[in-house]
Structure formats: C-alpha cells, structure tokens
Amino acid sequence: FAWKDATVVLFLSTIHNSQNYIAKLRKQPSTISTGYRQTAKVFGDKARKELDIPDFIEEYNLFMCGVDVADQLRSYYNTERTYRKTWKPLFSFLLDIVVGNCYQLSTYRIVGERTLRQHSHAQFRRNLRDALLYNSICVRKQYTQPVKEHKLAKVFKKQHFCAACKEARRTTTTPHYGARKPLANLSINTTRKERGDSHGWKRRIRTPRTNYGCTVYMIAFCTGLQCWSEHLAKLNSIE
C-alpha cells in the first residue's frame, strides 16, 4: 500500500486489504514539518480533526517499535552465554523471546507508569522461576501399594541381577560356563580352572541373576525366600 500523510509511505501487509478505514482524531502537524502545506488544507484552522485512516495505519501506529521493546526486555535479563554448541545460542534466544512475550501478555505489565515497569518485570521473572522450580524443592508424597499386591513372578525375558543379593553383596554358588563355539581355541576367560599360563587367574564371581522379580516395582529378585523376605520387610517398614 501507498499512504500519503505528510509524505508518501509504503506498506507491506499479509493481513490487510486497504479497504477498511477507521475514524481517528489526528493532530495538525507543525509549520516546519514536511508536507505542511498539503496537510494544512485538510485541517484548516483546527488544531485537531477526526479523519478516516486505513486500518493498517492505525495498527502500525499502535504496535510500531515492537521489535525494539522485545530487544529491550531481552537485554535486562539475558540468558545467553558463550557456548561452543551451535544450537545453544538459538535456544537462549528463543527462551528470552518466550519469557518476554509471556510478560507482555501477563497482568504484571503496568502500562503508563515507567517507574514500576522494570520492577514488575523482575517480579514476573522471580515468580516464574519459583513456579518452575517448585516441584524440585517441595516434598513429594510417596505412593506405595499394599504389600499384598506385591508378588514374586517371572517378569523378565532376559536375566537381571538380583537387587537384594547385590545390596547384600552375595555371590552366586552356581558355576557359570560361557557359551563356546565348536572347535574353537579356549581363551583364559573361558577356562574352568587355573592353568599354568593363566598367572593365577580366576573367574570373577558375580551376583546371582534371575528372570523373577516384583510385579509392582519390576525389580529382580531371586526365587529364594531370603531375598523376597528382605523385600517384604522393607515394604512393611515403609507402611
């Protein structure tokens, strides 16, 4: 669009069609302003006059300098730091924009009182920080199901180390023979007993592994009564 007020101004818009006009009270330009002779004919001897202007001119007058305001808000509390990752500056920039826009849309923004604007902005960010970090500082209520609902059953397809044996540092008593390929050379790690060239090497004794576990917590436990009884004792102590 081309609009002539004092001078010709060009506009580009994606939402307006230059067909809608709004009646606004306009002030007569000063005698030293550009295009005073042309505008004086419209105003005559009146200092103010209600004129019809396009709606895109009205919105431009209301929302101009929005980028400058956004940059000003970001400059107060900037989260950007020196990064080596290329995506982190973009993340900081977007985070600052989102927080600034939230402040603009919030009730913390005080219009017309310059002395309180910056204080309200700081208070908005403090409250936002406290709200985001509330879940990390509050005491969470632990929800536990009744002990009778905990069952020892086969819950894993692949064997897992027993949690009770691992905590008590109990080791397995069943010898473990690794899978071997036919006609393959035996390494030190696959021998069942010490050899002369193994330098006193012994297979490391590991914690027992099992497919069974607790049906509620999905923790592996041995089928022996000792491990499961220790787990039930802990549940009873919590209740």
* pLDDT value for 207: 86
What dihedral angle (degrees, nearest 10) is formed by the CA atoms of 68, 73, 76, 77?
Answer: -130
29-79 residue pLDDT tens: 777 777 677 777 777 778 888 888 888 888 888 877 888 888 888 888 888
110-167 residue pLDDT tens: 665 554 555 688 888 988 988 888 877 766 665 567 778 888 999 999 999 999 998 8
* pLDDT value for 202: 62
What residues does each domain of the chain span? 2-63, 66-136, 145-171+206-238
* pLDDT value for 98: 92
* pLDDT value for 113: 53
Neighbours of 221 (CB within 10 A): 24
pLDDT at 101 over 50: yes
* pLDDT value for 176: 57
181-223 residue pLDDT tens: 667 666 655 555 555 555 555 666 788 889 999 988 889 998 8
Dump the DSSP string for the chain.
Answer: -EEESSSEEE---SS--S--EEEEEEEPPPTTSTTHHHHHHHHTT-SEEEEEEEHHHHHHHHHTTHHHHHHHHHHHS------SSTHHHHHHHHHHHHHHHHHHHSTTPPSS-HHHHHHHHHHHHHHHHHHHSHHHHSPPPP----GGG--EEE--SS-EE-HHHHHHT----S-------TTPPP-GGG-SS--TTSTT--PPPPPPEESEEETTT--B--SSHHHHHHHHHHHHHH-
Q: pLDDT band at 170, cuts 50/70/90? A: confident
